Structure 1
C-alpha cells in the first residue's frame, strides 16, 4: 500500500540532493581551474540519461519532485561537461556556451517530443516503450559511473572527483529509491534505475577508502611516529652533545668531545716541555 506523504517527502529529498549534487564538483573545478581526472564522457552520458529518465518519470506520473529531478540532472551535467571542455580541452568560453546550449535545446526537444509521442502507446496499454526508457536511463547512468571505474583501474586512485558530490548523489539515489518504494504502485524498473547507480557509487566510495584514504592514514601515522621519534631522540642527542662539550671524569664510558682530543694532546706536550 502506498504512502503519499512519505513518497513526496523522500522524493523531494532526492530532488534536492540531485539539485545540489554536482555543485561541489563545479565549485572545485572552478577553484582548481582544471578538471584532470573528471571524465567528460561521464557528464555527457548523465546528461543523456536525464532524458529517458525524465520521460519515464513524467509518463509514470511520479511525484512532482521526481519529475523535475531528471531535468536538473541534465542541466548540471551539461554545465560540468562544459567545464571539462573549457579547462581540459581549452575550448573558448563562447564555444562552450554555444555548444552546451545547442545540446541542451536538442535534448529538451527530444524529451518533450517523446513524452507526447509515448502517450499514444500508453493509452493502448503498451508497456515496452516505457520499459525501454527505464532501461536506457539506467544504462546511461551506469555507464557514466563505470567510465570513472576505468580511470580508477588505470591510475589506481580516485582522482578528479569530489567525494562530497559522490556522497550527495548516493544519498539522492537512496532517497529516490525509497520514494519509489512507497509509491502506490510499486515500480520495479524505477527502483532498478536508482538502485543500480547507488551500488556503483558505493563501489566508488569503497575504492576511495582503499586507494586514497588508506594510504593517507598510513602516511599520517608514519609522520606522527617520526615526529615522536625525533622528539624523544632529539632530547637524547642534545644531552649527548652537552656531555661531549663538558667532560666528566666520573663517566667511564664518556665519548671524547669534538675538541677533547686536541686539548689532551696540548696538555701532554706541555707536560713534556716542563719536564
Structure 2
C-alpha cells in the first residue's frame, strides 16, 4: 500500500475515472446478451469468479480509503498542532492476503475466456467489445492513478496490470484470427453463406 500522504489530485481524478469505468462496464455486455438472446462464448465461470472477487477487492480498496482518510486527518492535525508528526498505516499480512486473493480471482475470471478462444482457434465469440474496452480502460486509469502517487502500490499495480495484459491477449487473439481466416471471411461475404458454414468447410 502507498502512503496516505502520496495521494495527489491527479491520482484521485484518474482513480475516479477508473472506478466509473469499472462500475458501468457490464452494461454493454448485458445489453448485448439480451439482444443476442444467448451467451455462447461467455463462460459462466467468468461471472462467478468476478463476483467472488468483489468481496476481497472491496475490502482491499476500503483499506486504502481508510489510509487516505487517515492522511487527511494527519494533515488537519498538523495544521493545528506543529508538534504532530502524523500516524502510519502499514499493511500487515491480512491486508496483503486480501489483496492477493482479489488479484488471483480477478485474473482467474479471465482465464476461462482463453479456453473459449482455444476451442475457436482464437476467435472471440460472446464478448461485447465495448464492455471489454471499458474494462481495459478501467484497469489502465486505475494503474495510471497508482503511478501518479508518490509511492507505487505494488499489489494494486499487479492487480491492474494482470487484467490489462490478459485482456490485451484477448484483443491480440482475435486480431490474429481475423488475419488467419480473412479468406474465409471474404468467401462468406461473397457467397452469402454464414461465416460459420464457411469455417466448418475450411476446417473439415
Aligned to 2:139: 173
1:103-151, Cα deviation, whole Å (9 max, x unpaired):
xxxxxxxxxxxxxxxxxxxx99561101111111110011110111112
- CA–CA distance in structure 1, aligned partners of residues 42 and 188 of structure 2: 30
Structure 1 position 210, deviation (Å): 1.4
Equivalent residue for 1:29, pick from 29, 33, 54:
33
- CA–CA distance in structure 1, aligned partners of residues 16 and 89 of structure 2: 31
**Alpha-carbon RMSD:** 2.6
Structure 2, gaps ≥5 residues long: 70-87, 192-204
Equivalent residue for 1:128, pick from 90, 93, 101:
93
Aligned in 2, Cα 1:166/1:63: closer, same or farther, shift over 3 Å?
farther
2:10 maps to 1:6:
yes
Structure 1, gaps ≥5 residues long: 65-122, 227-275
TM-score scaled by structure 2?
0.73
Residues 7, 179 of structure 1: 8 Å contact kept: yes
TM-score scaled by structure 1?
0.55
2:115 maps to 1:150:
yes
**Bigger relative CO (Cα 8 Å, ≥ 6 apart):** 2
- CA–CA distance in structure 1, aligned partners of residues 13 and 183 of structure 2: 41
Within 5 A, what are the aligned runs for 1:1-275? 2=6, 4-61=8-65, 127-156=92-121, 157-211=123-177, 213-214=178-179, 217-219=182-184
1:167-203, Cα deviation, whole Å (9 max, x unpaired):
1111110100111222344211010011111100000
How many residue pairs end up in the alignment?
Answer: 167
- CA–CA distance in structure 2, aligned partners of residues 183 and 206 of structure 1: 31
- CA–CA distance in structure 2, aligned partners of residues 152 and 169 of structure 1: 19
1:51-81, Cα deviation, whole Å (9 max, x unpaired):
11111111122779xxxxxxxxxxxxxxxxx
Aligned to 2:198: none
- CA–CA distance in structure 1, aligned partners of residues 28 and 89 of structure 2: 44
Aligned in 2, Cα 1:126/1:3: closer, same or farther, shift over 3 Å?
closer
Aligned in 2, Cα 1:185/1:39: closer, same or farther, shift over 3 Å?
same
Residues 29, 131 of structure 2: 8 Å contact kept: yes
Aligned in 2, Cα 1:155/1:2: closer, same or farther, shift over 3 Å?
same
1:208-250, Cα deviation, whole Å (9 max, x unpaired):
1112x32564445567999xxxxxxxxxxxxxxxxxxxxxxxx
